Chains A and B, each alone.
Chain A
Amino acid sequence: EPEVTQTPSHQVTQMGQEVILRCVPISNHLYFYWYRQILGQKVEFLVSFYNNEISEKSEIFDDQFSVERPDGSNFTLKIRSTKLEDSAMYFCASTDRRGASTDTQYFGPGTRLTVL
């Protein structure tokens, strides 16, 4: 069964460093998302992406964040200058959204980001 994959599974970085989190969405999906979950808290929406541009972003997704689909398969989240409060699990999701049965968002296993 197709699945969303994410790399790395765990990333440790120093405050102020740039990180790039990578995702490979399900191959025929068109809509892509990033969410994050701070330890012990709710999963929060960061950004949605369709047709090579951001569809929607949350207040969390400030100028330090950017997303890119550099090729036909990868979808990346970049944090330019990490802060301690960026420590969280980051989830990528994708969906087809072309029919009644395809609104399900499928999530990857997550990347645990630890900022020291």
Chain B
Amino acid sequence: SQQGEEDPQALSIQEGENATMNCSYKTSINNLQWYRQNSGRGLVHLILIRSNEREKHSGRLRVTLDTSKKSSSLLITASRAADTASYFCATDGLPSSGDKLTFGTGTRLAVRP
């Protein structure tokens, strides 16, 4: 798989349920970031987790990072219809590798009212 692969590719849940999206990557990272993109719109930054962190919270979002497995998960609790969007993980390499972001393929989340 490529750097930054999310699964599932698509997820449909009922409002109020939790949504979990996973991201795997191949090379060592400095940071991992999650972004949201509404259809055809810009990328909204959600949360950044550093390689030395294991878990981070922001409101209804919880992100975990397992560098030994090269994977991260994004949990959205108590989902709302407004959470319907595509979610991408993006990694940047070690400082010596530059800071460009490598994006995953994304998970399309649909929250049914």
Contacts and interface: CB of A to CB of B under 8 A. Distances in A.
Interface residues of A, number: 26
B64 interface: no
A25 interface: no
A58 to B, nearest CB: 8
Contact of A109 (B41, B48, B102, B104): B41
Interface residues of B, number: 25
B106 A104 contact: no
A105 B45 contact: yes
Does more than half of chain A's interface fall in helix, strand or loop, or is it mixed? Answer: strand
B95 to A, nearest CB: 10
Given A103-B30, A105-B45, A45 B100 contact: yes
Interface of B: 4, 30-31, 33, 35, 40-45, 48, 50, 88, 90, 92, 98-106
